[in-house]
Amino acid sequence: MTPHLTPCSTDCLIVIDMQRDFLPREAGFEGALGVPRGEEILAPIEALAARFEHVVLTADWHPQGHISFASTHERPPFESIEAAYGPQMLWPDHCVQNTSGAEIAVDIPHAELILRKGFRQTIDSYSAFLENDHMTPTGLAGYLRERQLHRLFFVGLAYDFCVGSSAVDGAKMGFECVVIEELTRAVNVPVAGSLSSVDAMRQSLASQHVATRTASL
């Protein structure tokens, strides 16, 4: 049995992209890029956050015509293009700045920071730490170090893209990173041959020794 999660003062919960466009339409949300069963983790994330002194929220914040939008390239969603920084998956338009779909759906009043990402027109950002060029920092690492926060717990959407990418980059930067898998959901699309995005992300997480555990709610 997994021990009950009891955070300490140097822990931080990082809630990734729990926005209305990432939650399913059938659950009453905008759902432009709804992650299946994403609504199921709303209340458990709020309950878990109540245990943490330090909470950071992230949010996609895309301009119209963003490079990641399939409509920008007149291509179908879920195809991949070659951007200047490497392969870029194309998505339905989502989390457009100042729209209801970009609103954060979890209620965590004591969250200390909302980190907006993906706001540059010509570069996407899955990770909370780096843009997709793997060079441009978001500033989160410095924020956490200034506050002496060393162990990071990741929850939210989607496991196989923004959650996992954030944990991988955090580990590369020297943080102890833990993904609470039961409080994530996945898009799960093909990415390379027969490999799914979930399998690819599991390999990436394992390569950086990112731990996974349950919250024991």
167-216 residue pLDDT tens: 999 999 999 999 999 999 999 988 877 789 999 999 999 999 999 987 76
Helix axes 197-207, 164-172, angle to 10 degrees: 20
Domain covering 11-63+97-213: architecture:
3-Layer(aba) Sandwich (3.40)
Closest by CA to 71, choosing from 85, 92, 45, 87, is 92
Q: Which residue out of 11, 93, 95, 117 is catalytically annotated?
A: 117
Question: Residue 1 burial by CB count (10 A; 0-12/13-18/19+): exposed, middle or buried?
Answer: exposed
Rounded distance between C-alpha atoms, residue 79 and residue 65, angstroms? 16
Rounded distance between C-alpha atoms, residue 122 and residue 103, angstroms? 22
Rounded to the nearest angstrom, the gap between the alpha carbon of residue 171 and the centroid of all alpha carbons in its chain is 15
pLDDT digits (tens, 9 = 90+) for 111-169: 999 999 999 999 999 999 999 999 999 999 999 999 999 999 999 999 999 999 999 99
Please state whether the predicted TM-score (pTM) of the whole model is above 0.85: yes
The answer to whether residue 162 is catalytic is yes
The answer to whether residue 117 is catalytic is yes
The answer to whether residue 172 is catalytic is no
Q: What is the DSSP letter of 22?
A: G
Q: What is the DSSP letter of 115?
A: E
Domain-wise residue ranges, the chain = 11-63+97-213
